[in-house]
Amino acid sequence: MKIPELNSIKSIERQYETGERPVLVTCSDKNAYICKYMRSSASAYKLASEFIGANMISYWNIRSPKFAFVKIEPAHWANINTSHTSAVALGYIMLEKVADINNVTIQNVKKNARILEQLLKIALFDFWIANEDRTYNNANLLYDLDKEELVSIDYGGIFNTSTYDYSLTQLTSTDTILYADIMRHLADGLDRSKILERAASLKGFLLESTDKCRENRNQIIDSIPIGWNIPKQNISKKVDELFQSHWIDEVWNNFMECLNDNI
Ligand SMILES: Nc1ncnc2c1ncn2[C@@H]1O[C@H](COP(=O)(O)OP(=O)(O)O)[C@@H](O)[C@H]1O
Ligand SMILES: [Mg+2]
């Protein structure tokens, strides 16, 4: 997958208040992008995680915004009081008619089998990639009000929130979106055994999706910008843990157990 390379064409329009303080910029393709950027000259592991997560999920048949590399012109930072470097940023195309999923907007989410399946797939992806940043008080999900579908965002917390120094560990049953109100909302009125049955049928999906990611492993790692300052071997080592068969087996068992605990 060739990742588009864009330039900002205007001053930053907005800075979000969330953890990474992303910025909104209009780019050379005339679209607006929500950009995450290198916030110090130290190695940008969190940005690399963001990039790896965004790439990997594109092989999972889960909706996630399209992304591009964005060169934000130095002059376009003028109104923004934040530390940043000149390294290329990672921008997600800004989606229209979407709502952040939280305790209030959850009421807009239709309850049906299709959306429940989207949530189960997103939860399974998180178990596989050890995403600790999609939880009961921070869904990192958008809801597309027209298409009535969930959109996954924000991968800065994969690999157990970016410590590349330790081996991957399994999420706990309260670290997952399965523990959140959105799961209760979608499960409401459904037979528990039906939900478990639907989840159990995703085993093949896990294996196929991780196979596709494995096939694309090299090109993902090779696309990480050199300016982000991360030794390639550290990234390779971390990414390869995802493909160990014992990890995938444990992910599957843990996913089914945590679902069982939470419904
Ligand atoms: N592609 C997008 N389209 C529309 N809004 C988005 C998009 N990506 C992020 N946002 C908005 O920006 C906020 C912060 O994005 P997020 O990736 O979660 O950043 P952080 O890592 O700082 O938590 C989201 O809660 C959402 O409101
Ligand atoms: Mg977030």
Cα separation, 49 vs 131, in Å, equals 10
Output the residue whose Cα is nearest ligand 1's atom 26: 100
Burial 53-68 (b: 16+ CB within 10 A, else e): bbbbbbbbebbbbebb
Which residue among 58, 93, 128 closes a domain?
93
Q: Are residues 246 and 219 in the same domain?
A: yes
Range of the domain at 187: 98-262
Measured in Å, residue 154 CA sits from the centre of ligand 1 at 7
Backbone angles phi, psi at 91, to 5 degrees: -110, 140
Are residues 223 and 120 part of one domain?
A: yes
Q: Could you tell me if 86 and 170 lie in one domain?
A: no
Nearest residue (by CA) to ligand 1, atom 16, is 154
14 and 113, same domain (yes or no)? no
User: Which residue's alpha carbon is nearest to atom 12 within ligand 1?
Assistant: 16
Are residues 126 and 44 part of one domain? no
CB of residue 98 inside a 6 A radius of ligand 1: yes
Q: Which amino acid is at 60?
A: W
CB 139 within 8 A of CB 221: no
- 19 CA → ligand 2 middle, Å: 7
Supply the pLDDT for residue 41. 84
- What is the residue-level pLDDT of the chain in tens, covering all 263 positions? 789 999 999 999 999 999 999 999 999 999 999 999 999 888 899 999 999 999 999 999 999 999 999 999 999 999 898 898 899 999 999 999 999 999 999 999 999 999 999 999 999 999 999 999 999 999 999 999 999 999 999 999 999 996 788 999 999 999 999 999 999 999 999 999 999 999 999 999 999 999 999 999 999 999 999 999 999 999 999 999 999 999 999 999 999 999 999 99
Shared-domain flag, residues 245 and 116: yes
Residues 105 and 167 in one domain: yes
14 C-alpha to ligand 2 centroid (Å): 16
Domain boundary among 93, 117, 146: 93
Q: From the CA of 13, how far away is ligand 2's center (Å)?
A: 19
pLDDT in tens, 191-201: 999 999 999 99
| Boundary of a domain, candidates 67, 93, 119 | 93
Domain CATH code at residue 72:
3.30.200
79 and 28 in one domain?
yes
Q: Do residues 57 and 147 both lie within one domain?
A: no
Helix or strand run (H / E) with residue 241: helix 232-241
DSSP annotation string for 39-58: -SSS--HHHHHHHHHHHHHT
My answer on whether 80 and 134 are in the same domain is no
Looking at residue 99, what is its pLDDT? 97
Q: Give the strand order in the sheet containing 141-144.
A: 98-100, 141-144, 149-152
Q: What is the DSSP letter of 163?
A: -
pLDDT at 1: 79
Same domain, 39 and 168: no
Number of domains in the chain: 2
- For residue 239, give the CATH number of its domain: 1.10.1070
Query: For the chain, what percentages of helix, strand and coil (3-state, to nearest 5) are there?
Result: 45, 15, 45
For residue 77, which of 17, 32, 15, 12 has the smallest C-alpha distance?
12
79 and 145 housed in the same domain: no
Atom of ligand 1 nearest to the CA of 93: 1
Q: Which atom of ligand 1 is nearest to the CA of 18?
A: 22
